[in-house]
Structures are given as C-alpha cells and as structure tokens.
Amino acid sequence: MSLNPPLAWQGALWERLVSEYGQNRLPHALLLSGAAHIGKKHFAFAVAHRLLCHCESTLYACGTCKGCLLNEAQTHPDLAILEPNDAGKKVIGIGEVRELINVLSKTSQQGGWKVAVIAPVENLTISGANALLKTLEEPPGKILMLLVSHELGRVPATIRSRCQRYMFPLPNASEVLPWLAQNGVALDKAAQVLKVARGRPLLAADYLKESLLDRVAQFDQWVDDVASGQLSPVSAAQKCHNADALEQIDWFVQYIHRMVCLNVETCCSPENFIFYDKLHKARGWIVSGANANKQLIWEELFFDWHTLARGLAKAQSAS
Ligand SMILES: [Zn+2]
C-alpha cells in the first residue's frame, strides 16, 4: 500500500472532502458508492492516510512523517481495514466486525484520528452489519469510517441511512486516457481498452497489463469458428472453461452488440434478443456462485450460438 494521492478523476470529491474537513463538518461515516474498478477504495485509503498524516499543511499525506511511515509499512495502529480475505472467503463476519470495533473504541495510539476502511461493505454478513450499527450511531471519539460499496442495493438501509454518501460517477474518458497512457501506452490503444472495460479505469489498466486485446481477439475467433462450424461447441466450451467466465461473457455480449450494429436489418431478430438474454442469464448463474457447471453453461451457449449464426447466415444470403 503506497501513499498515493486520489486519482486524476477524483478531484471534485477530494475538494468536497477537504472543504468538509476544513469546516469541521466531516461526518463519522462516509459511504463511497459507484461501479467497481473506478478507484473508490483507492480514494478511501487516500483519505485515511491524509487524516493519519501528522503534517498539517499538505493537501495529501506527506509520505515522510511518522504516521505516513507507519501507513507505508501497513502497521498504523489507528487504521483498521476489513476486506474479504485472500483465502477466497468473500463475506466479512461478525467476529471481524467486533475486532474492528475494538480497535476503534480504544484511545488513538498516535494521538489523532482513528480510521476504518470496510471494502466492500455489502460483503458484511447480516449479523456483521448489525454489529456495526451501534458504532455508526454512537461513534467512540474522533473516528472516520469509510465504507466502500460497488452494489449499493445490497447495503442494508440501516447502514446507508447512518452514513454520508459520496457517489463516484463513471469518469470521463478525457480524464482517464492520459492516466492510462502515462506508461507509454498509445492513446488510441488506451481508448480501445477503456471501451472494452466499459469505462472502468482500473479494469482497463489491468487489461493493459495482461495484453487483453490479444485475448479478446482470440475469444472472438472461437465465436467466429463456432458460427462457421470450424470449431464444435464442445471444443469451444473446453477452451473457455478455465478462463474468467464473467469476462468472456462480457466479450460475447460485446460481440453480439457489434454484430447487431453492423447488420441492423438481419440481426434485429427475436432469436438474437433471446440469445442476448441467455448470455445475461448465464452471467447471473456464474455471479450467484451456486456451483454453476461452467463447462455445461458454455456448451449450451455455443450450441445456441451455432444455431443462431446458421439462421442469420441464411437470412443474410436470402436478403
Ligand atoms: Zn505524513
């Protein structure tokens, strides 16, 4: 965890925070909500590090005082962080919430703020969320809780109503592209990847690291080959089986979208929309994590796609 300032597109929200801080109007809990991969957690840590920095005159954490050095080493005793752990456990349970409350209720060891980051807050179990309510209602002393949410609808109303909301909009490409291009990436490539990442800058940055465009091209080729009969649906499903299914379903949706845009007359058929709907349903099964058999899901999708593509080819040759 390095002490980075807020991201290039977060200037307005940072100004709001600085203004509230300057007027002593900073609440005890902020709910940072918006789409995933746009930098809300980054912002939360930028706020936490600024509050725990001992330097009064800098806009961001100074990076050199004792508070900053403790944060740099990830050992600041007045910063409590709750995240799903690396072992694949997605929920944040009551035991972890109680530990956090315990840290917040003690006297600040560095004599200033005590800060908590919970990301994402929708991953709290019901009992975990309930355990947090009392601290949100009666905060013990000078504390700030930063609750990050990618899916606000999943955050209990009892928590939402006790926090001040900071909404993070999807940033404008004009603010994101120079940031994406800062490591020597060409602007047109950055724009292409940002589009594939549906405007989410941190996802686009990950994609750039992983040569995403090559992987998308490979996936599109499999879809083309299933359509033409050169690749069987079962073989295509096997190729997809071990990769990130959600990512690939997004690419399939984009493939269909491009196809419809290119051939509006023949592609605006009910069958096409039914298939589009199936892709979204498949996405839902995978997101639900209910032991979905990915191989079977992909086989069914590719069988349906092969049938649909043959029908479209016939319609196009007849028109
Ligand atoms: Zn500092």
Number of domains the chain contains: 2
Q: What average pLDDT does the chain have?
A: 89
Residue 197 has pLDDT above 90, yes or no: no
Give the side-chain half-sphere CA count within 13 A for 132.
33
pLDDT band at 190 (very low <50, low <70, confident <90, very high): very high
| 170 C-alpha to ligand 1 centroid (Å) | 30
Task: Check whether residue 146 and residue 233 sit in a common domain.
Answer: no
Kindly state whether residue 275 falls inside one of the protein's structural domains. yes
Pairing of strands 114-118, 143-149: parallel
Measured in Å, residue 80 CA sits from the centre of ligand 1 at: 18
CA–centroid distance, 113 to ligand 1, in Å, is: 13
What is the whole-number distance in angstroms between the Cα of residue 64 and the centre of ligand 1?
5
Residue 70 has pLDDT above 80, yes or no: yes
In the chain, % of residues over pLDDT 90: 63
d(CA 126, CA 131): 9
Check whether residue 164 and residue 67 sit in a common domain. yes
Which is higher by pLDDT, 178 or 285? 178
Write the burial class of residue 160 (CB in 10 Å: 0-12 exposed, 13-18 middle, 19+ buried): middle
pLDDT at 264: 65
Ligand 1 midpoint to CA 81 (Å) = 19
89 with 18, same domain: the answer is yes
Tokens of 232: 């069987």
Question: What's the confidence (pLDDT) of residue 259?
Answer: 82
Residue type, 57: S
Residue 3 domain-assigned? no
Distance CA 28, CA 309 (A): 56
Domain boundary among 111, 140, 169: 169
Q: What is the pLDDT of residues 107-160, one digit of tens each?
A: 888 778 999 999 999 999 999 999 999 999 998 889 999 999 998 998 999 999
117 and 230 housed in the same domain: no
What separation in Å is there between the alpha carbon of 205 and the centre of ligand 1? 28
pLDDT of residue 100: 93
pLDDT higher than 80, residue 201: yes
Q: Do 124 and 217 reside in the same domain of the chain? A: no
Say if residue 234 is in the same domain as residue 152: no
Bigger pLDDT: 196 vs 10: 10
Dump the DSSP string for 204-264: HHHHHHTTHHHHHHHHHHHHHHHHHTSS-HHHHHHHHHTS-HHHHHHHHHHHHHHHHHH-H
CA of 48 to the centre of ligand 1 (A): 11
Same domain, 243 and 127: no
**DSSP per-residue letters across the chain:** ---PPPPGGGHHHHHHHHHHHHTT---SEEEEEE-TTSSHHHHHHHHHHHHH---SS-SS--SSSHHHHHHHTT--TTEEEE---TTS---B-HHHHHHHHHHHHSPPTTSS-EEEEESSGGGB-HHHHHHHHHHHHS--SSEEEEEEES-GGGS-HHHHTTSEEEEEPPPPHHHHHHHHGGGS--HHHHHHHHHHTTT-HHHHHHHHHTTHHHHHHHHHHHHHHHHHTSS-HHHHHHHHHTS-HHHHHHHHHHHHHHHHHH-HHHH-SHHHHHHHHHHHHHHHHHHHTS---HHHHHHHHHHHHHHHHHHHHHHHHH-
Asked if 131 and 219 sit in the same domain, the reply is no
Do residues 18 and 145 share a domain?
A: yes
pLDDT one-digit tens code per residue, 31-67 = 999 999 999 999 999 999 999 999 988 899 999 999 9
Q: What is the domain extent for residue 253? A: 211-318
Say if residue 68's pLDDT is above 90: yes
How far does the centroid of ligand 1 lie from the alpha carbon of residue 241, in Å?
A: 47
Tell me, in angstroms, the distance from the centre of ligand 1 to residue 72's CA. 10
Q: How far does CA 230 lie from the centroid of its chain?
A: 36
The domain that holds 132 is classified in CATH as 3.40.50.300
- Asked whether residue 155 falls in the same domain as residue 57, the answer is yes
Last residue of a domain, one of 169, 187, 220: 169
Say how many Å lie between the CA of residue 68 and the centre of ligand 1.
4
Give the model's pLDDT for residue 119. Answer: 94
> What's the rounded Cα separation, in Å, for the pair 251 and 263?
18
Two structure tokens written together for 11:
């200037």
Both 77 and 158 in a single domain? yes
**What's the gap in Å between 7 CA and the centre of ligand 1?**
18
Q: 53 alpha carbon to ligand 1 midpoint, in Å?
A: 4
Tell me, in angstroms, the distance from the centre of ligand 1 to residue 260's CA.
54
pLDDT the model gives residue 290:
64
Cα 62 to averaged position of ligand 1 atoms, centre (Å) = 4
Q: Sorting pLDDT into bands at 50, 70 and 90, what band is 89? A: low
Ligand 1: distance of its center to the CA of 201 in Å? 27
pLDDT of residue 213: 79
Does 306 score more than 70 pLDDT?
yes
Tell whether the model's pLDDT for residue 317 goes beyond 90: no
Cα(277) to centroid(ligand 1), Å: 51
Same domain, 123 and 251: no
Ligand 1 midpoint to CA 230 (Å): 61
Distance 56 CA to ligand 1 centre (A): 9
Give a yes or no: residue 164 inside a domain. Answer: yes
